[in-house]
Structure 1
Amino acid sequence: MGDGQQRYEWSTRFARSVAEELRGGVAAGALTWAEADILLARLRTVVEQALEPTPVG
């Protein structure tokens, strides 16, 4: 299995886990769908920043 395939599988599992947790939080009444959307947008920003290459210099 290539490195690209492993990354794809990991990212798919990660996305599914996040989605399940958000659905569970809404179902439990811990947050609303609007709050879940905001949380997801913030998480996306954090992940994108973490994946940006660090400038050399």
Structure 2
Amino acid sequence: TVEEVLHRLLETQEEQDRWLSENRETINAKIRRGIEQLDRGQGIPEDQLDAHLTDLKAKPE
């Protein structure tokens, strides 16, 4: 029913909000580290980005 769908949607949103809240410090630290790397000129050139992302996706976590 529509009510069930809306209920599940709200549950999913709450789960995502909770995950974000629990991981905010880690996420912010990774963003800061990335910005620092870019500031040092350690970024990946745009023409190499697609290949780099493909390589990352192929690696096991």
TM > 0.5 fold call = no
Q: Which of 1 and 2 has higher RCO (CA within 8 Å, sep 6+)?
A: 1
User: Which structure is larger by alpha-carbon Rg, 1 or 2?
Assistant: 2
Which interval holds the TM-score relative to the shorter structure? 0.3 to 0.5
Structure with greater helix percent: 2
Q: Give me the TM-score of the superposition, normalised by structure 2.
A: 0.41
